[in-house]
């Protein structure tokens, strides 16, 4: 019935992918959005909160809530930047750094599984097309 509906098909795909990454990140006690955010923080320590939100294509209030949870879990610290209380840099803690490799490996395992199921070329083309559609709608 909805074979040609972008909304229906992307939402169904998102639910399926959510299950895959939820399972992968469960050993860390993180949801997929939290885990992906932490991976960005680990890869780019010192980002401003607004830069992090932009990097993840999420609203700033959404970033704030996720950062609050990561801070509660002892995985990030917020530090004022150059004495300016309005700008806060996000830094990973030692606990986050300790799980960095395992977090990336867990994500890589899911990506490898999807590439096996879809084929390397199909996987790459699909990601590229989805990014193109997303960019076109922004």
**Mind listing the pLDDT tens digit of every residue in the chain (138 residues)?**
788 898 999 999 999 999 999 999 999 999 999 999 999 999 999 999 999 999 999 999 999 999 999 999 999 999 887 766 677 899 999 999 999 999 999 999 999 999 999 999 999 999 999 999 988 988
pLDDT for 85 equals 65
**Checking phi first, is residue 119 left (phi over 0); if not, alpha (psi -120 to 50) or beta?**
left
Chosen CATH of 14-108 out of 3.40.50.2000, 3.20.20.80, 1.10.10.10, 3.30.499.10: 1.10.10.10
pLDDT for 86 equals 72
Q: Please provide the size of the chain in residues.
A: 138
Calculate the alpha carbon distances from 50 to 59, 78, 86, 96, 135 in Å: 9, 13, 11, 21, 19
């Amino acid at each position: 019935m909805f074979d040609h509906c972008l909304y229906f098909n992307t939402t169904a795909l998102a639910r399926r992918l959510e299950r895959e990454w939820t399972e992968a990140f469960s050993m860390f006690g993180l949801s997929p959005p939290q885990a992906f955010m932490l991976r960005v923080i680990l890869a780019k320590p010192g980002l401003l909160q607004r830069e992090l939100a932009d990097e993840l294509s999420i609203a700033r209030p959404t970033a704030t809530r996720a950062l609050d949870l990561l801070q509660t879990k002892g995985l990030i610290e917020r530090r004022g930047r150059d004495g300016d209380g309005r700008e806060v840099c996000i830094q990973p803690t030692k606990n986050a750094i300790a799980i960095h490799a395992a977090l990336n490996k867990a994500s890589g395992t899911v990506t490898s599984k999807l590439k096996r199921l879809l084929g390397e070329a199909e996987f790459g083309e699909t990601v590229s097309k989805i990014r193109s559609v997303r960019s076109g709608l922004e």
